[in-house]
């Protein structure tokens, strides 16, 4: 039975970039839709640049996004014996050969070709050499076909063809014995039975060389789909100058994984006019053929809009758990205060990120906050003290200190004093949170509870009286 097998194969030389995350996501979605396998492979053959820290960052990013893998992670560095055997096989079959050209000679040939207006490709000096050069270092080159075309049907871009005469004999093993990327990726994908390769379109030019290697090895050639790159707002390749490019940086900025997944998949793929998809809907509706051929432009405002949607509609208990580390970063112990899920409910409507939610939640857990200077001058005035006292008297008699009961107490006070809510509401808000911006004061009081609400209003009364003295 045919099984769809896809892979994500990052190099551990840095963090998980949003472009890499989108590629991983497309592979994961197709594997899940086709009930196939999603394989994670770490391409760590660049020993000088590969680090365990980068491996950990990639795994952490994948886990945060919920892109679970069925097999792996496999590490290329553990497959050197397999690569060497494949190289030896191609040499023995006459499909690869030793190249003794030095780097200086190759550079001279390249410069001469450039001066003569020719494509700077290897000229085949060692292609038909007979006999070895004892003691001389050598690389191994693949003996590529020199006539005809190499074509493939890209699932996104359509038919792509390359004239074989434009392709030189690829080095598959360096003079130090290490294999090259284009060779290892073919061996790995063939060994792992990869049926579909979804990757960035910066790999299009590698594809004909890899197809030649598959055919020389007698291995099935997978299908290819090359995803357009992600651009910044200035239509250049997305980089740090456009803002954060690390997936985990967005987590630290307070974005939810479901918002990032939804945004990344829509950055190139569409399904009608729909903007918001659950993970289950993405799996059901996704198709690689519906990925556009044009580059996507990263729009932070659109991501922020999506994040706000998922916060507003999120489960308060789950959001409370996600909020904890952001509160602790601010020196707040969420256990030393009101129920965090109840706090979250009052903040979901406005908060666009978990950072904004943490900032908005701080006053719930800090009763010694300073009052905003402008709010003091405008609202913490002596004429407010009797209104505070009247409100506290009503709070004391409330049998049910809930939103509705608290609202009734305010309405009764306003009716008795012949004032509008605008006269008492802002001063109470300042007393409760230190400023004029907060969730509904009825919600805030319900969450704080009768005793803490009373203490904060009494503190404001003391401040006003002290200011008058």
Q: Alpha-carbon dihedral of residues 200, 205, 209, 215, nearest 10 degrees?
A: 60
Q: Determine the angle formed by the axes of helices 385-397 and 403-417, rounding to 10 degrees.
A: 140
Cα-atom radius of gyration of the chain, to the nearest Å?
32
DSSP string for 114-155: HHTT-------TTTT--S--TT---EEEE----SSEEEEEET
Per the CB < 8 A criterion, the answer to whether 172 and 87 are in contact is: yes
Separation CA 225–CA 199 (nearest Å): 7
CATH of domain 373-468: 1.10.10.350
| Regions in the chain scoring below 50 on pLDDT | 469
Per the CB < 8 A criterion, the answer to whether 326 and 298 are in contact is: no
Q: Does domain 79-227 have CATH number 3.40.50.620?
A: yes
What pLDDT does 371 receive? 95
Per the CB < 8 A criterion, the answer to whether 383 and 419 are in contact is: no
- The encoded tokens of residue 293 equal 């051929």
- Enumerate the β-bridge partners of residue 96: 142
Catalytic residues: 240
Residues 6+ apart with CB under 8 A from 263: 302, 303, 306
What pLDDT does 459 receive? 97
What pLDDT does 469 receive? 43
160 phi/psi in degrees, rounded to 5: -130, 130
Give the rounded distance of the alpha carbon of 334 from its chain centre: 27
Q: Where are the domains of the chain?
A: 5-77+230-303, 79-227, 315-363, 373-468
Residue keyed to tokens 């609400």: 453
**pTM, rounded to two decimals:** 0.92
Strand 139-142 to 37-42 pairing: unpaired
Architecture in CATH for domain 5-77+230-303: 3-Layer(aba) Sandwich (3.40)
Residue keyed to tokens 């001469």: 112
User: Fold match between 5-77+230-303 and 79-227?
Assistant: yes
Residue 426, classed as helix, strand or coil, is helix
């Amino acid at each position: 039975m045919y099984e769809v097998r896809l892979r994500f194969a990052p190099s551990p030389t840095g963090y998980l970039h949003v472009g890499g995350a989108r590629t991983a996501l497309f592979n994961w979605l197709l594997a899940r839709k086709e009930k196939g396998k999603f394989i994670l492979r770490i391409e760590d053959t660049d020993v000088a640049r590969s680090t365990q820290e980068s491996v950990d960052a990639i795994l952490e990013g994948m886990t945060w996004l919920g892109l679970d893998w069925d097999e792996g992670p496999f590490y290329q560095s553990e497959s050197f014996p397999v690569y060497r055997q494949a190289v030896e096989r191609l040499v023995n079959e006459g499909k690869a050969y030793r190249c003794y050209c030095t780097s200086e000679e190759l550079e001279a040939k390249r410069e001469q070709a450039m001066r003569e207006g020719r494509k700077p490709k290897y000229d085949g000096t060692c292609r038909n050499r007979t006999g070895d050069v004892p003691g001389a270092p050598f690389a191994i080159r693949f003996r590529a076909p020199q006539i005809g075309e190499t074509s493939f049907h890209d699932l996104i871009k359509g038919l792509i063809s390359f004239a074989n005469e434009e392709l030189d004999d690829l080095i598959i093993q360096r003079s130090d014995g290490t294999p090259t990327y284009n060779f290892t990726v073919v061996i790995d994908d063939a060994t792992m039975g990869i049926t579909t390769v979804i990757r960035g379109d910066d790999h299009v030019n590698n594809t004909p060389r890899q197809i030649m290697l598959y055919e020389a090895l007698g291995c099935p050639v997978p299908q290819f789909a090359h995803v357009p790159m992600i651009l910044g707002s200035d239509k250049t390749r997305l980089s740090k100058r456009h803002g954060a490019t690390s997936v985990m940086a967005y987590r630290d900025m307070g974005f939810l994984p479901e918002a990032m997944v939804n945004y990344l998949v829509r950055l190139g793929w569409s399904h009608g006019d729909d903007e918001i998809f659950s993970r289950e809907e993405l799996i059901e509706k996704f198709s690689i053929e519906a990925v556009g051929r044009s580059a996507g432009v990263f729009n932070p405002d659109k991501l922020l809009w999506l994040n706000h949607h998922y916060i507003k509609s999120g489960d308060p208990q789950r959001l409370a758990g996600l909020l904890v580390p952001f509160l602790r970063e601010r020196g707040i112990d969420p256990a030393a205060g009101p129920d965090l899920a109840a706090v979250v409910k009052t903040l979901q409507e406005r908060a666009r990120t978990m950072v904004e939610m943490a900032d908005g939640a701080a006053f719930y857990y800090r009763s010694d906050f300073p009052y905003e200077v402008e709010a003091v001058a405008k609202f913490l005035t002596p004429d407010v003290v009797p209104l505070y006292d009247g409100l506290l008297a009503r709070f004391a008699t409330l049998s049910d200190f809930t939103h509705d009961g608290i609202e009734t107490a305010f309405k009764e006070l306003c009716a008795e004093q012949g004032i509008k809510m605008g006269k008492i509401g802002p001063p109470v808000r300042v007393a409760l949170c230190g400023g004029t911006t907060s969730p509904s004061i009825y919600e805030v009081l319900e969450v704080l509870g009768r005793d803490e609400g009373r203490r904060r209003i009494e503190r404001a009364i003391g401040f006003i009286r002290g200011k008058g003295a």
